[in-house]
């Protein structure tokens, strides 16, 4: 009799766990859908650069905005940022923002190491509380979002991406 009661309780517990997991999966799915929708327009935001100044994320004139989310511990990010530096001329006419959520000193050292701090049209910024990253649903780095001058998302790249394809999307070419 005790074995039957134990079996019934075990089954009830398993069903409870399955139901809880189903609710969690539903919530995660909804959060991702909402983030994907928020990603469609360039958010109005200000982030802090390596000198402590607030920098607005927006297009100037007819330039596109390229947001590159990275972390200093990611080897793919390191490779992509070096590729950005090597191919900087492809993005000279664009607003390029590299966004990390780590401490300023660590991010600054990483920017110097990869060379992205030497390019005048590259902006290295910190999303100190990861508010922008969470708002846009960034859960993979590197992630690159390309917005047109109108603030609409043209293309999203998750993981290591070819700089030529990013530049093409920024220019409004067939890759967008």
Confidence of residue 35 (pLDDT cuts 50, 70, 90): low
pLDDT at 37: 74
pLDDT tens digit sequence for 73-95: 999 999 999 999 999 999 998 99
Confidence of residue 22 (pLDDT cuts 50, 70, 90): low
pLDDT tens digit sequence for 45-70: 999 999 999 999 887 778 999 999 99
- CA-closest candidate to residue 133, choices 54, 69, 47: 69
- Integer Cα distance of 5 and 8 in angstroms: 5
pTM: 0.80
- Cβ pair 96, 57 in contact under 8 A: no
Token pair of 85, please?
Answer: 């530096």
pLDDT tens digit sequence for 161-174: 999 999 999 998 75
HSE, side-chain direction, 13 A CA sphere, residue 110 = 25
Going 17 to 18 to 23 to 25, the CA torsion angle's sign is positive
HSE, side-chain direction, 13 A CA sphere, residue 132 = 25
């Amino acid at each position: 009799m005790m074995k039957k009661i134990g079996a019934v309780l075990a089954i009830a517990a398993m069903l409870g766990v399955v139901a809880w997991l189903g609710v969690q999966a539903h919530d995660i799915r909804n959060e991702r859908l909402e983030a994907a929708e928020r990603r469609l327009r360039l958010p109005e935001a200000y982030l802090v650069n390596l000198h402590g100044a607030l920098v607005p994320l927006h297009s100037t004139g007819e330039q596109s905005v390229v947001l590159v989310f990275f972390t200093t511990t990611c080897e793919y990010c390191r490779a992509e940022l070096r590729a950005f530096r090597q191919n900087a001329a492809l993005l000279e006419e664009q607003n390029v923002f590299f966004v990390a959520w780590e401490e300023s000193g660590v991010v600054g050292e990483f920017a110097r190491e990869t060379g992205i701090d030497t390019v005048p049209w590259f902006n290295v910024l910190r999303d100190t509380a990861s508010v922008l990253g969470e708002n846009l649903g960034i859960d993979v780095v590197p992630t690159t979002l390309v917005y047109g001058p109108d603030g609409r998302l043209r293309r999203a790249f998750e993981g290591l991406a070819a700089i030529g394809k990013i530049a093409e999307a920024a220019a409004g070419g067939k890759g967008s």
